[in-house]
């Protein structure tokens, strides 16, 4: 059986597809994402992998060793959920490549000297409940399960309700040290979200670091009123304050080398053309290699917003939704991966990943596959079929090495 990740991705290309090449909508526990979960379970089961879904909704597909011991396992995999309007590669490429790498290894008659697991992590994008890498944060204890149960989506459905509807017991979510103790190393393959490999003319890279990144919700409350009957001097318009937030974020990130600041959502209530809004809620996404710089930018933007709110007669509440410190991936593991893939350059990334969260619990690393557009979180995200194959081959070699050799990074 050849390892054909392209064919696997072709199979799911229609799931959660938005009309008019608008990309994908595959929020966690939605019908589309659940269809993708079923697709993965079907393929894993067809390959004789032992499949289980843990209490955090993470799917594990095991290529077990005789006797079934799972200590010292090598983990790979990624996520299947998407951002709204995202591409078909961010997440699914890592899952499809993991299945294909198993096919390649089996096709070569390889039998693992230690167990291999493919994991599918839920809510990596945080698109439905607002917290990125929710599944990996839960299993590693990086987030309070009580807080997670109460998270709500745009329809005010709680995570607990959505998880229960998807067949999980929400009372069971939370840290799982026993399961994590089985993992000796985690390698996630992911489409590159940037043009590093295009510029370097290489198909595959190793990940060096993920820069610090966080998300905040800025809620501005004013006074709803009539657009025509209300004099300008009598207004408390939260949208005017929101404009200052957006301006300040751009101004304060532009002057810091390597900083990134994004307002991706502006929710205006009630949202009528002839209505002065009563509230405006914005999302802040701020990133930089230095954590203190991220927090300083957020403080500066908050102060600017508060000044604008005071002069407009509005109130502001800024709430941190999630924060991920800079992660430098395990140097010893990366050295092993480099020995297996000597031509692969090392690239840092501005995108967060479950591997960045798991890095706190086990030596973790990443492989990036070239994306000719460099674009991501958009339908323009892509990877050439030959580079997808190169990624599968690279992952297969890395897994063969890790499943055969002991090293200092793993007990
Ligand atoms: O937002 C991110 O960096 C990732 O794609 N979840
Ligand atoms: Mn991703
Ligand atoms: Mn993403």
CA dihedral (353, 358, 360, 364) positive or negative: negative
Mean pLDDT value across residues 371-390: 97
Catalogue the E-assigned strands of 165-243. 183-191, 204-210, 212-221, 225-226
Does position 408 have pLDDT exceeding 60, yes or no?
Answer: no
125 Cβ below 6 A of ligand 1: yes
Question: Which of left, alpha, beta for 165 (phi over 0: left; psi -120 to 50: alpha)?
Answer: alpha
347 Cβ below 6 A of ligand 1: no
Residue from 121, 123, 125 whose mutation best tests the ligand 1 pocket (most atoms within 8 A of CB): 125
124 Cβ below 6 A of ligand 1: yes
Q: How far is the CA of 123 from the centre of ligand 3 (A)?
A: 10
Does position 205 have pLDDT exceeding 80, yes or no?
Answer: yes
Tens of pLDDT, residue by residue over 182-195, are 999 999 999 999 99
Q: What is the pLDDT of residue 405?
A: 74
**What average pLDDT does the chain have?**
96
Does position 119 have pLDDT exceeding 60, yes or no?
Answer: yes
Q: What are phi and psi of 21, to 5 degrees?
A: 50, 45
Tens of pLDDT, residue by residue over 310-354, are 999 999 999 999 999 999 999 999 999 999 999 999 999 999 999
Does position 227 have pLDDT exceeding 50, yes or no?
Answer: yes
- What's the predicted TM-score (pTM) here? 0.95
What percentage of the chain exceeds 90 in pLDDT?
97
Ligand nearest to the CA of 351: 1
- Give me the residue spans of the domains in the chain: 5-211+326-404, 213-324
Q: What is the pLDDT of residue 391?
A: 98
Tens of pLDDT, residue by residue over 64-109, are 999 999 999 999 999 999 999 999 999 999 999 999 999 999 999 9
381 Cβ below 6 A of ligand 1: no
What size, in residues, is the chain? 411
Tens of pLDDT, residue by residue over 60-71, are 999 999 999 999
Query: What is the position in ligand 1's atom list of the atom closest to the CA of 124?
Result: 6
Confidence of residue 2 (pLDDT cuts 50, 70, 90): low
Tens of pLDDT, residue by residue over 353-371, are 999 999 999 999 999 999 9
Does position 407 have pLDDT exceeding 60, yes or no?
Answer: no
Of 391, 292, 315, the residue nearest 3 (C-alpha):
391
The answer to whether domain 213-324 has CATH 3.40.50.150 is: no
Tens of pLDDT, residue by residue over 25-62, are 999 999 999 999 999 999 999 999 999 999 999 999 99
Q: Nearest C-alpha to atom 6 of ligand 1 is from which residue?
A: 125
Q: What is the pLDDT of residue 321?
A: 94
Tens of pLDDT, residue by residue over 232-267, are 999 999 999 999 999 999 999 999 999 999 999 999
Confidence of residue 1 (pLDDT cuts 50, 70, 90): very low
Q: How far is the CA of 211 from the centre of ligand 1 (A)?
A: 11
Q: Which residues surround ligand 2, an ion (CB under 5 A)?
A: 90-91
Q: What is the pLDDT of residue 80?
A: 98
The answer to whether domain 5-211+326-404 has CATH 3.40.630.10 is: yes
Q: Which residues surround ligand 3, an ion (CB under 5 A)?
A: 90
Q: Report how far apart, in Å, the C-alpha atoms of 75 and of each of 87, 281, 330, 366 are.
A: 24, 39, 15, 11
Q: How far is the CA of 175 from the centre of ligand 1 (A)?
A: 22
Residue from 214, 285, 351, 376 whose mutation best tests the ligand 1 pocket (most atoms within 8 A of CB): 351
Q: What is the pLDDT of residue 410?
A: 53
Tens of pLDDT, residue by residue over 143-183, are 999 999 999 999 999 999 999 999 999 999 999 999 999 99
Collapsing DSSP to helix, strand or coil, 225 comes out as strand
Q: What is the pLDDT of residue 3?
A: 72
Does position 406 have pLDDT exceeding 90, yes or no?
Answer: no
Mean pLDDT value across residues 390-396: 98
Q: How far is the CA of 338 from the centre of ligand 2 (A)?
A: 22
Ligand nearest to the CA of 357: 1
Q: Report how far apart, in Å, the C-alpha atoms of 331 and of each of 144, 205, 346, 358 are.
A: 29, 15, 11, 15
Q: How far is the CA of 349 from the centre of ligand 1 (A)?
A: 10
CA dihedral (143, 149, 152, 155) positive or negative: positive
357 Cβ below 6 A of ligand 1: no
Mean pLDDT value across residues 300-314: 98
Collapsing DSSP to helix, strand or coil, 170 comes out as helix
- Can 5-211+326-404 and 213-324 be said to share one CATH topology? no
Of 32, 47, 46, 44, the residue nearest 88 (C-alpha):
32
């Amino acid at each position: 059986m050849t390892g054909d990740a392209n064919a696997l991705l072709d199979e799911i290309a229609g799931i959660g597809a938005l009309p008019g090449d608008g990309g994908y909508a595959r929020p966690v526990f939605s019908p589309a994402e659940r269809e993708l979960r079923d697709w993965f379970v079907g393929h894993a089961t067809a390959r004789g992998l032992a499949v289980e879904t843990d209490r955090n909704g993470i799917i594990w597909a095991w290529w077990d060793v005789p006797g079934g011991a799972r200590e010292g396992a090598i983990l790979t995999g990624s996520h299947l959920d998407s951002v709204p309007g995202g591409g078909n590669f961010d997440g699914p490429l890592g899952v499809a490549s993991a299945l294909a790498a198993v096919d390649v290894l089996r096709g070569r008659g390889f039998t693992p000297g230690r167990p291999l697991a493919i994991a599918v992590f839920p809510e990596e994008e945080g698109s439905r409940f607002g917290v990125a890498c929710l599944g990996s944060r839960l299993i590693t204890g990086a987030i309070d399960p009580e807080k997670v149960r109460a998270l709500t989506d745009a329809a005010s459905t709680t995570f607990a309700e959505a998880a229960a509807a998807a067949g999980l017991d929400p009372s069971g979510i939370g840290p799982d040290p026993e399961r994590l103790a089985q993992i000796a190393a985690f390698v996630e393959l992911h489409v590159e979200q940037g043009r590093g490999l295009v510029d370097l003319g290489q198909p595959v890279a190793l990940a060096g670091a993920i820069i610090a990144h966080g998300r905040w919700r800025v809620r501005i409350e004013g006074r709803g009123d009539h657009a025509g009957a209300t004099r300008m001097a009598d207004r408390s318009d939260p949208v005017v304050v929101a404009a200052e937030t957006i301006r300040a974020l751009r101004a304060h990130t532009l002057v810091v080398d390597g900083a990134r600041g994004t307002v991706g959502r502006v929710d205006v209530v009630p949202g009528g053309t002839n209505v002065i809004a009563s509230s405006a809620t914005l999302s802040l996404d701020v990133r930089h290699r230095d954590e203190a710089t991220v927090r300083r930018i957020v403080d500066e933007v908050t102060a600017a917003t508060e000044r604008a709110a005071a002069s407009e007669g509005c109130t502001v509440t800024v709430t941190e939704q999630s924060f991920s410190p800079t992660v430098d991936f395990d140097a010893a593991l990366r050295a092993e991966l480099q020995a297996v893939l000597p031509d692969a350059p090392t690239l840092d990334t501005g995108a967060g990943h479950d591997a960045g969260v798991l890095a706190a619990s086990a030596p973790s690393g990443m492989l990036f596959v070239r994306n000719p557009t460099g674009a991501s979180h958009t339908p323009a995200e892509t990877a050439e079929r030959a580079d997808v194959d190169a990624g599968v081959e690279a992952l297969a070699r890395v897994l063969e090495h890790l499943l055969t050799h002991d090293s200092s990074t793993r007990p």
